[in-house]
Amino acid sequence: MLYRVTLNHVEHPSPPKLEGFDRDFTVTSLGEQSLDFQNVMIINGRRTETIRRGRQYNYQLTPKRTGELTIPAPTAEVDGVTLRGRAVRISVEPASRQDVVRMEITVAPQAVYPLQPFQVTLSIAVKALPGPEADKNPLGVQSAPPQLIIPWANDRRLPEGLEPETDLDRWLGRLVDRRGTGFAVNNFRQRDVFSFFEDRPLTFMPRPEKIELSDKDGKQAVYWRYQFKRTFTATKVDVYTFGPATLKGVFGVAGDAEDRLVGKEIYAVAKALHVAIKDVPTEGRPESYCGAIGRFDLSAELTPRKAKTGDPMTLTLTLSGQGTLEDAVAPDLAKIPGIAGKFKVYDATEQTRDGRRQFTYSLRPLDADVTEFPAIPVAYFDVQQDRFVTQRTPPMPIEISRAAVLAGRDIVAAPGAAAGRSQEVEMQKGGIYANILDPNLAVDQGVDPQPWLIGLGGVTGFYALLAFGAVAWRRRSGDTVRLRRRSAPAAAHKRLHAGLDALQAGQKREGIEQIEAAVKNLVADWIDAPAAGMTAAEAARHLETLGVNGEVIAAARRLLDNCESVRYGATAADLAALHRDARPTVQSLLKALRRAK
């Protein structure tokens, strides 16, 4: 089973201590991943920055015995303070004892970096038929093909960030058996996948091979092995679960001393396996590492190349190639020698499109003695070479001149003055009446300001109202927080219904994930916070901050805890309780949030 320990809001976390785990479990580390997140958004000139710090540690726990077991509470030391998680109770049931069908899921390699391919293999070993039928394919004697469920044989339900090397049609299409011999996978029919077959369950037959395994009595026996292999790549750091896979059908076994065949119904399960997509190593990570993983080229463009001190210039850095670019952050130019103190640098804007990540900076030169814009180092992690690679932009020659200082005579000049001429401001010694000869023309030429002020005030008020309405409309329509909160109830109901439908259809894992998301994403949408990695305790703290009623918080916490318990083993009563409590709990939470501050 997959076990995760998450440390949130921590700058420099250390691995947790799993004391007491080895009593009932074998613990295998699946690596760790960073939860650090930084996002800068500029909407209508308003800059919003979101920063999150944390780390997630992943383990695989294998129970050593059956029965009711307790997973102890993990602990971690952070800045001299001991943090403690919570213990989890699970029920471990014994596997049925039969040796007719053996199933196993394997992954090679089991830990990779993003974009590194790995192969998932489901192996099904079926015991050879007894007596004179031993050379016959065991799958060729059934009246109906055995039903095989492969969770990763459904591209629409693959988790985000997981990409198959070949699509479903090409992968399973080459294994279709036209005679109806083989495995009925995921109840695929003609209308689901392959349009050129009749409307009946499709059967898939991998090429079998004969191997020897020990049966339940410890004796060597011949088995026919069938393997479904599929290659994937992951585009982000995470832990992906493959399985469990199940098989149900009637298989031929010896019925008497003469080895005559009888049918025996078999139900077999292949335990789930986890694949850790590793984060890049911290050791040897250069300061210029931008967060990109893959293989890239770096280019730069600076315009204009000729400017005066204080003039605006635009620098564009572009990373292009194959890999993950969404988490790449803009380099801090203020830390680069030759830029610090020589240029005023403003925050960069970021954009990802068509396999390219662009960082656009606005800057202003401060020093006229600068003759070139220095090289900018940007590092990424190359998964093929398993090391960091640093690329540098070439230095760019520039011409910076000093901004002119204007004299008073350059500021006040006649509009139509000829080139090269200037007019000084002169004062008429004779006064303003020096050129007036007729006394009758010397009248009061003063201006009455009252009518002009009234008219100006009216125009100003009209434009103020118009501007206020435009700003209010822009803020209301561009308020992403408001829009996110407004859409939260519909999204929560949609996830809740999907989860309940999945539980009703027997899809426990998908149902639990949807119900958990209905609660956690609702809280995250309401406070405009990231939903990824939010724990039940964090959700409860956010609800307390909002002033939600304590009984509603307790009900939501119980629902999330019940989802966690059911994920690691549950009775029919537990599933029924989850199905019963999910809807009223989410509805009560929605009402409480609408009444909250």
pLDDT in tens, 182-207: 999 988 876 544 444 445 678 999 99
pLDDT for residue 421: 47
Q: Would you say the CATH fold of 480-595 matches that of 289-401?
A: no
Tokens of 287: 């300061």
φ/ψ of 111, rounded to 5, equals -135, 125
Domain 289-401 belongs to what topology? Answer: Immunoglobulin-like (2.60.40)
pLDDT: which is higher, 203 or 533: 203
Least confident range of 43-47, 147-151, 222-226, 591-595? 43-47
Chain centroid to CA 464:
44
pLDDT tens across 235-270, in order? 888 899 998 999 999 998 887 666 678 888 888 999
Q: Using pLDDT thresholds of 50, 70 and 90, give the confidence band for residue 533.
A: low
Give the residue from 17, 27, 19 showing the smallest Cα distance to 77: 17
User: 227 with 206: CB under 8 angstroms?
Assistant: yes
Place of tokens 């599933």: 575
- Is the model's pTM score more than 0.75? no
- 6-10, 189-193, 331-335, 348-352: which has the minimum mean pLDDT? 189-193
pLDDT score recorded for residue 316: 96
Per-residue pLDDT tens over the stretch 130-173: 888 889 999 988 878 999 999 999 888 899 899 999 999 999 99
Q: What is the 3-state secondary structure (H, E, C) of 75-97?
A: EEEECCEEEECCCEEEEECCCCC
CATH topology (fold) of 480-595: Four Helix Bundle (Hemerythrin (Met), subunit A) (1.20.120)
Tens of pLDDT, residue by residue over 433-482, are: 444 445 554 555 555 667 766 777 777 777 777 777 666 655 554 466 77
For residue 359, pLDDT beyond 80:
yes
Domain boundaries of the chain, sorted by first residue? 1-94, 95-279, 289-401, 480-595
Q: Which amino acid is at 254?
A: A
Averaged pLDDT, 274-299: 91
CATH code of the domain made up of 95-279: 2.60.40
Residue 474: the pLDDT is 58
Minimal CA–CA distance to 495: which of 563, 552, 429, 547? 563
Residue with tokens 């309780």: 577
